[in-house]
Every structure is written in C-alpha cells, then in structure tokens.
Structure 1
C-alpha cells in the first residue's frame, strides 16, 4: 500500500474531526444524513472566486423537478461543463461541491452547470439518469441559444462519474447531443465491490470503505439482480463511439481498480482515453483543493485537457 500525501491526510483528519460525533450515515434517515454531510463539507476552507457569478434555476419538465446552478466566469467563456456531484447517489448536492464547481468556472473560464439530481433511496435507479439526460439535452440547447455554441463537456466525481458515463451512453444512443469530452474522477463502474483495491484501501483514512460502497449500491438499486444493469454496472456496457475521456484516478482508493478497468475497456472499444493516476491521493481528494497542492495539480491537469479538446 502507498503512503497518503501529507496534505490529503490533513484533509482527511479535518473531515474526521468535524464528523467525529456523527452517527454512521447508514443508521440515519436520508435527510439527516444529507444535512450532516453538508455540515461537514461546509467547514472546509473556501478560497474566493470573486469573478464567478452564480445563478440558480429549476427545471420543471423533468421528474422529479430538479434544481441546478450556473456558474459564469469573469473572463471569456471557452466551454460548457455539466457537473454531477458524488456522494454514493444518496448524499451531497450542489452545495457540498460548490467550491469545486466554482474552481472549474474560475480557473477554466468554463460555464459550469451543476445539476442537483434526485437522490436515493427516495428516487432509485434509473430516475436520476433519466432526469440528467433530459436536463442536459434541454439546458445545453437553451444556453447555446443564449450565448452561442460552445464545446460541451460532462463530468463528475465518484457516483457522479458513474452518472456522467451512463448519460454519455444515453446521449450517444439517442444522438440527442454531441459531447466534446468526459471528465471522470475516481468513478464507480463495478457493482461487485470485489477487487484488490477494496482489500488494500477500505479504511476510514482513505475516505471510502467497502461497507459504505455496498450500502450506496443497495440504496441506489435495491434489487441485487438489477445492479448488473449496464447503465449502472458500466463495466458491462457497450462503450463504443464515446467522446474523449479524462480519468482522474486516486491511487489510495477502493475504486482505483475499477477506474483502471473502465479505462482499459474504453480504450478497447476504440475511444480516446487519458488516465492519470495521482500518487498518494485518496477518494474525494479533489475536494481538498483549498488545502492540498495535489488536488490543485489534478484540477489544472483536467482543465488543460478540456482546453486541448475544445
């Protein structure tokens, strides 16, 4: 096992300290778990992005209706990024990931649209996937009508990366929209939770455990046989004809093996794939952007890749 980057370790200790008195999330009602998760994330440092303007909206044409945020950078907009937050399909939202989406807008001169998609267990698979696919198709066309055509990217972290790749498959099949690229950060692609990285890195010091991941899958897809559906268990999907992909892989993460596996399968299906492993990084490390140079380096790498594919 590799050693965790010291600044990422400090991020992990901070999160452990602020959540020390929280009961295990799996024992709590969903809304309580979400409130406490957001409360913990709200204690993280938040460097200013004074030029970024954020507006909120609500899309009533999807079921259930969905809130979203649009972040406009101060400089000339060079592309559009739809962002799907992580949180095991059950917790987190646009508030918990506000620092990250602001950073993408500010540092990348991107118009960032963060979708507050429906969460499990109230809304199980494939509700969020259908919601997101419809919302992106509609909002991308509406925004292009307002500000002109822009290179279009879709991305997310953890469960948000899972939903991003699944959405890209749906958009490919319906030909509803052309994406310039996918930004997939320490994503969930394998419902089995059985590989060497789960054995090596399933501990609280690595930000995500096997038990938590199993719990998230059960919340997202309650019926065990359905967890192998190729729109969720993406290692079973037909991955041909997808846009270029950038995979951010945290070395010290239970999900690292499935990130390597999906990168290999994407390449085998003929896609343009860039996979970058960040040594000493844990799950969720991008959220340490105001505490850790490694997180800032990864974001810089992502934005350079977006610029090169715009």
Structure 2
C-alpha cells in the first residue's frame, strides 16, 4: 500500500495503448451522434439504458443476481445481491455511478459478476434514489441505510463480517460519504477497504473538470455541471463535506484503492483525493492508466483488464 507514484510519461500520448485509443474514439463517435444530450430528462435516459437503447451496451442479466428490499429513511430501498457458489469470503457494498441521476445495479451486472467470480465476495449493489426527483441527501441516506443493514445482517445472511465498499464516479463519492457518515453518526468503522474508481469528490468542480471542454468522452464539462445541478436541486451545497467528500475529515478511514484514466475529466478529483487520503493517515494505492476514459474499467481492452486485476488483488488482500 501507500503507492502513489506518478510519472510524467504516463500522461503523454505515447504511453496510450492502441486499443485504448480505439475505445476512446468509438465512445466519442457514439456520443457525438446524439444531438442535444443535455436536453433529455434523466428519467428518459434511465428507461432507454435499461431497455438496451443507450449509447453503451446493456450487459447480459446476471443469473446469480437476486433482488431484495430494505427499509430506508425515505421508504423501501432496493438491493441487488450477487452470491458466489461457495460461502462468501466477504461482502462488497457497491454504489453505482451515473452522476447521482442515472444508472442502476442492473447495468452493473457484468462488473459485479466479475467481482464475485474473481474474489469470492458476495456483492450487494444499492439502487439508491436518484436526482432530480430525489436530490441530496436522499441518495446518500439510502446508501447509509444499506451499509447499516449490512452491518446488522451480514453474519446471519452471508456468514461473514468482512466488508469492503466501493463505486464508480458518483458511486465513489457516495462510498466516501457513507464511510464518513458511519464513523461520525454511528461510531462505526466496519469496512476493511474501499475501491474508489474515477470518483467525483469535489462538486465545486476541480480544474480538470472546468478545463475539459466539450469532447464527449463519456463525460464532459457540461455533463458534470448539469449532474451537479440536479443533485443539489433540493438546496444542497457543494461546500458541504457530505456533498463534496474531498472537504471532509478523512481520518480513520480504511485502506483505499484509487484508479482513474488520464483522459478523464475527473482526473484531478482522484489525484487530489488519493493525496488527502494519505495525508489523513490512511493507506492508499493509486493507479493512473494512460489514456483511460471515464470509468474505463467497464470497457474492454488492456487498460480495463489491468485495473480490474489490481482491484481484484486489493479485495483479495483485505
């Protein structure tokens, strides 16, 4: 752990693998073909993605996934649970990405099946409430409720009290907020590790977000600005550490594995947060992949394979 080593060569064009370039070009082409993406309401985007009509393929439905519902502060909160064939070695609480506005556990079936297969963990993915219909703090409230449910029920349901937490993009933001809430509100530190992929940790917008521009490589500046506005439409503030966990007291949190690609508008968020994690006295490991786009771990190719292998190793080592 504690391996945050950056090389300037990793940020140069010559370090980008050929297959990574091809993936990036295909993503830009697919998204550039959608006119006025910002004018489509999140509810319409959600429906299209679950019907397989989004810009990215919907993975095959997991044969092992089972749906459950728990009670949360805003009503029933669905969970999607993926179980290994043998007794779980641990439980990974997964919080999906999507700018706090779109996305679902179902769209992560492939990635969550992979974690089960390669680590022996069970995965519990939270279908938290989404903005703008349910702005902050409803989403993180659901995630907090799911974490508390896991602490209470895991030994009886899964036969283990070995936990990890993680997510991608907005999900990584919610994962850190959940860790801080459990520590501060409940005196709990139940998670042995965190996997934080391409997180949006500062909703005031870091320099890499502000300077990215219009290139639609999964996300651009306009997309992130719009998602933040939806998430905070209930009166939340980007200055609130519960919203922007980069601003939170990070002391006493578990070891974390951070990964981000150099071609991600949210690059600075991970660079800044991984450094703050270490400065707060927590173990941290950082993998920066040359040319990787936003949440590149969900795309085929050498960059995703490398990062996912490191994630598996991190979870197996907890």
Q: TM-score scaled by structure 1?
A: 0.89
The alpha-carbon deviation at position 102 of structure 1 amounts to 1.2
Matched residue, 1:136 = 147
**Which string of whole-angstrom CA distances, capped at 9 and with x for unpartnered residues, describes residues 229-274 of structure 1?**
0111122111111011111121111111121111111111111111
Matched residue, 1:169 = 180
Matched residue, 2:195 = 183
CA distance 1:197–1:119, change in 2 (3 Å): closer
CA distance 1:203–1:78, change in 2 (3 Å): farther
Describe the SS at the equivalent of 2:178.
helix
Q: Give the unaligned 5+ runs of structure 1.
A: none
Matched residue, 1:121 = 132
Matched residue, 2:237 = 226
The alpha-carbon deviation at position 119 of structure 1 amounts to 0.2
Q: TM-score scaled by structure 2?
A: 0.87
Runs of 4 or more, structure 1, over 6 Å off, are none
Matched residue, 2:310 = 301
2: CA distance, partners of 1:304 / 1:211: 35
Which shifted more, 28-37 or 175-184? 28-37
CA distance 1:130–1:294, change in 2 (3 Å): same
Alpha carbons 2:61, 2:106 under 8 Å: kept:
no
Which of 14, 18, 32 lines up with 1:6 in the alignment?
18
2: CA distance, partners of 1:113 / 1:214: 29
Q: Give the unaligned 5+ runs of structure 2.
A: 1-10
1: CA distance, partners of 2:163 / 2:234: 35
CA distance 1:138–1:118, change in 2 (3 Å): same
2: CA distance, partners of 1:30 / 1:62: 23
CA distance 1:34–1:204, change in 2 (3 Å): farther
Alpha carbons 1:62, 1:135 under 8 Å: kept:
no
Alpha carbons 2:88, 2:159 under 8 Å: kept:
no
Matches within 5 A, 1:1-310: 2-3=12-13, 5-15=17-27, 22-38=34-50, 39-40=52-53, 44=57, 46=59, 53-173=64-184, 174-196=186-208, 198-199=210-211, 201-204=212-215, 206-222=217-233, 226-288=237-299, 291-309=300-318
1: CA distance, partners of 2:108 / 2:29: 20
Alpha carbons 1:8, 1:292 under 8 Å: kept:
yes
The alpha-carbon deviation at position 72 of structure 1 amounts to 0.9
Alpha carbons 1:79, 1:110 under 8 Å: kept:
yes
Q: CA RMSD in A?
A: 2.5
Alpha carbons 1:191, 1:233 under 8 Å: kept:
yes
Alpha carbons 1:12, 1:205 under 8 Å: kept:
no
Matched residue, 2:7 = none
Count the aligned residue pairs: 304
The alpha-carbon deviation at position 13 of structure 1 amounts to 4.6
The alpha-carbon deviation at position 192 of structure 1 amounts to 2.2
2: CA distance, partners of 1:256 / 1:100: 22
